[in-house]
Structure 1
Amino acid sequence: MLVLALDASGSVNDAEFRLQIQGYADAFRSPSVQNAIMSAGQVQVAMVVWADGEMSSQVLPFQDVSNRRAAEAFAQRIDALDRRVTGNTGIGRGLWTALDLIALDMSCAPRRLVNVSGDGAETMIARARENIALNVARMRAAAMGVTVNGLAIQTSRPDLAEWYGRNLVTGPGAFVMSVSTLASFSEAINAKLVREISVPLLAADQPVPTGGIRKGL
């Protein structure tokens, strides 16, 4: 199970948001990602578009993308996604929503990952009722056996990859990638998805579920 968690906070303008959306859609159409999916077995992917912690995230529910036609269909769903959120950078809320999706049915998934992409650190504000602190969401991910990886878009904060490494990523084999411009996003997310889908040792330290075990993600 893989959840793509995409930043739509106020620091991301509409053109930049579309570049990210296009990068994800293009990745699921690419031969390299589709070949990784074919090799992995059954792969389920969802998307969460997150922003201010006080706003509900947008969600594309899990879809099986285990063949080329299904991967193309998921790309079309991403392409059709309209932006409905903005505001502060509520990474904790976005991660929490991704974990909620995974928690709905994780009994048969040997590998559980969240792929977070964004251009800023968590906004430090007085915690409102609906907000979720990132450290709380990160601890929940660890307790659920979910690996959280990051793609830092370092257009305005050149140390964001280091910040992600300290405050966001967790779990076996967790890693951070970075880009300095959004023009590089599509290539980077393609490489990141191939790495996440292909590498089995991301699940090396995960508890093995009993019954219904399947190959895949």
Structure 2
Amino acid sequence: MGKHGQYGALVALLLAGPAAAECRLALALGFDVSRSVDARDYEIQRDGLIAALQAPEIRDAFLAPPDHVTFALYEWSGQKDQRVIVPWTRVMGPDDLDRIVATLLAHERGPERQATALGRALTFGRGVLAEAEPCATRTLDISGDGQNNDGPSPARTYATVDFDGITVNGLAIGDHERGIFDYYEREVISGPGAFVVASPAQSDFPRAIRRKLEKELSVRLLGSLPGTERGG
């Protein structure tokens, strides 16, 4: 290969970069199941996520060519109360999304009346992402309706745990605490392109989770900037 041919091959490789990876996105969702989330709130969240995963536009976004998405979901509350509900699942076709939905439908919520350990939820999510296959982008998605009141704060967590290469987005639910959107915007989100979507009340959660998934599954171009959405 001549000098110009070698140069062209190198440029093509650099331009391809991480976007050429087989997996384009590792997406981990962390759902708040602390004591402020009662049985009805929990049902709204679960059913809202299921409806989003069944929506044609979300399915199309998951399955957009050429590369696939891998998906996981865990629940969190107190410092010692986190558990994976959907282990890492490659979404290669509609059947994979159907299996995720079936897992959510069959799942029973864990112990209630636990505190809100947001810092620990972030650390746990970081560990979940460490177990994902190599992907061009890694996103941790935390939803919740309260500020940290148990264990290390998000700020302390970010100071002591390496989140390099991870985008942390938020879905702030506004039923129980004033200023929760601002708290998530200031303390929780982190990394390139990070954003918060607001759910002013639990009843707004289905719309908010769908909007958030649409944004996260969209192709992110170089130079994308962080953003927030008060209206979801």
Whole-angstrom CA distance in 1 between matches of 2:222 and 2:50 = 24
Partner residue in 1 for 2:70: 44
CA RMSD of aligned residues (A): 2.1
| Alpha-carbon contact 1:134-1:168 (below 8 Å) kept | yes
Secondary structure at the aligned position of 2:64 is classed as helix
Asked if the contact 2:74–2:82 (Cα under 8 Å) also holds between the matched residues in 1, the reply is no
Q: Unaligned 5+ residue runs, structure 1?
A: 206-217
Assess if the C-alpha contact under 8 Å between 2:75 and 2:82 holds in 1: no
Which of 129, 136, 155 aligns to 1:135? It is 155
| Counterpart in the other structure of 2:36 | 11
Helix, strand or coil at the partner of 2:221: helix
Gaps of 5+ in 2: 1-25, 226-232
1:65 aligns with 2:65: no
Rg (Cα) greater in structure: 2
Determine the structure 1 residue equivalent to 2:101. 75
Percent identity of equivalent pairs? 27
1:77 aligned counterpart, secondary structure: helix
- Kept after mapping to 2: 8 A contact 1:58/1:85: no
1:94 paired residue number: 121
**Secondary structure of 2:171's aligned partner:** strand
Query: Aligned pair 1:111/2:137, yes or no?
Result: yes
From the superposition, tell whether residues 102 and 118 of structure 1 become closer, same or farther in structure 2 (CA, over 3 Å): same
Deviation at 1:167, TM superposition (A): 0.5
**Displacement of 1:175:** 0.3
Q: 1:186 aligns with which of 200, 206, 212?
A: 206
In structure 2, give the amino acid aligned to 1:158: R
1:104-183 aligned at under 5 Å gives the runs 104-106=131-133, 108-123=134-149, 125=150, 127=151, 132-139=152-159, 143-183=163-203
Deviation per CA, 1:150-173: give whole Å up to 9, x if none.
Answer: 010001223111100110000000
Q: Are the aligned partners of 2:85 and 2:107 in contact in 1 as well (CA < 8 Å)?
A: no
CA positional deviation for 1:114 = 0.8
Moved more, 194-203 or 179-188: 194-203
Residues 141, 32 of structure 1: CA spacing in aligned structure 2 closer, same or farther, 3 A cutoff? farther
CA distance in 2, matches of 1:76, 1:99: 25
In the alignment, the residues of structure 2 paired with residue 64 and residue 138 of structure 1 have an alpha-carbon distance, to the nearest angstrom, of 28
CA distance in 2, matches of 1:202, 1:179: 28
Q: Check conservation: 1:48, 1:94, Cα contact below 8 A.
A: no
Cα distance in structure 1, aligned partners of 2:91 and 2:47: 18
1:202–1:13 distance in 2 versus 1, CA, 3 Å: farther
Give TM-score scaled by structure 1 length: 0.83
